[in-house]
Amino acid sequence: MGIVEIAKKAGVSPATVSRALRGLHYVNERTRTKIVAAAMELNYPLRPDLIPRELAERTNRIGVIAPYISRWYFAQAINGIEDSLRENGMDLLLYNFSQVEARQRIFQHKQLRGKVDALIVISLPPTDEEFASLLTLGIPITTIGFTHEGCSSVAIDDVIGGRIATEHLTSLGHRKIATLSGQRETAFSFDVSDNRNKGYTEALNAVGVEWNPDLEIRGDFNIYTAEIATDSFLRRKKLPTAIFCHSDEMAAGALKAIRAKGMRVPEDISVIGFDDHLIAEYIGLTTVSQPPQFEGQMAASVAMAELANPSLEHKKIVIPISLVVRDTTAAI
């Protein structure tokens, strides 16, 4: 949908639409209001300062869209957002869902319009259609865990994270390294595992090892499915010397399955996780550390800054990550 369609609906020329939507002063307010109304009806993305006053009154709330709230990463990010908002006298309105139908309802702009002053979307890349719908709200949008053109973002680099984990293992002499990844066939289109696998493959290639699909184990970012998947994998005759798990919760499940087979960690097989979950230190897990609570705090700060000054340029903030070496990895 473009300015030609808006012009037809508003009964003006495309040139007038262009001037009005760029905020130029030589368009009278009556015409501008008519053009903006037509644009909103056609779901055309508008600058926040062009939204009519009656639709732009502040709610003092920031909305957070998340597919899960009980999983560690999401809970930590939401806590970080809430901490920052509370310090600034603002409230959080949480939109949580676990089914495709609920996602479709939430991403319809009519479900959100007038309820929040800004949006933060956690680790859930919207489709182009969904994102276009969000833009019609005319409010700041910030993402956590992924980037999207047209809004600010706070994220780690998962490719670098996968590389860091695998390089730690290759530096210890490991060459036959399995990867325990999240499921790809999900309704939420998460790309975290794909990116971490990319870093894993790059690190293997750097030491002359080609990616072997037989060494990929599919979990689902939780302890229980990871334990089952690892148990099945360990029934093979030829086993890897190390496993890179895409989350610490999956690593905990893998450790349980490995030890149930009578194998020792790290003497028989090394295990590295990702996140630095609260359980990681408790079980002595070597991992790649990321700070989701801090990511949430940063996203809230960015959203509030853009709310205060809509003319600010969008930011792409990359949060540093680091390797934490504990007891589950060793040289071979």
Domains in the chain: boundaries: 3-44, 59-156+293-321, 158-289
User: Tell me, what's the pLDDT at 179?
Assistant: 98
User: Tell me, what's the pLDDT at 108?
Assistant: 59
Under a CB-based contact definition with an 8 Å cutoff, are residues 270 and 328 in contact?
yes
User: Tell me, what's the pLDDT at 78?
Assistant: 98
User: Tell me, what's the pLDDT at 32?
Assistant: 81
User: Tell me, what's the pLDDT at 72?
Assistant: 94
User: What's this model's pTM, rounded to 2 decimal places?
Assistant: 0.80
User: Tell me, what's the pLDDT at 132?
Assistant: 79
Distance separating alpha carbons of residues 72 and 181, to the nearest angstrom: 17
| Residue 44 Cα distances to 12, 22, 35, 216, angstroms | 16, 13, 11, 43
Same fold, 3-44 and 59-156+293-321: no
Contacts of 249 (CB under 8 A, 6+ apart): 72, 221, 222, 223, 226, 275, 277, 279
In the block, residue with structure tokens 């869902």? 97
Residue ranges for the chain with pLDDT beneath 50:
54-55, 185
DSSP 50: G
User: Tell me, what's the pLDDT at 83?
Assistant: 96
Domain 59-156+293-321 CATH class label: alpha beta
What are 286's strand-pairing partners? 272
Q: Around Cβ 323, how many Cβ atoms within 10 Å?
A: 16
User: Tell me, what's the pLDDT at 158?
Assistant: 97
User: Tell me, what's the pLDDT at 21?
Assistant: 85
What are 141's strand-pairing partners? 119
User: Tell me, what's the pLDDT at 1?
Assistant: 62
User: Tell me, what's the pLDDT at 286?
Assistant: 98
DSSP 126: P
Q: Which CATH superfamily, name and number, covers 158-289?
A: Response regulator (3.40.50.2300)
User: Is the domain covering 3-44 a CATH 1.10.260.40 domain?
Assistant: yes
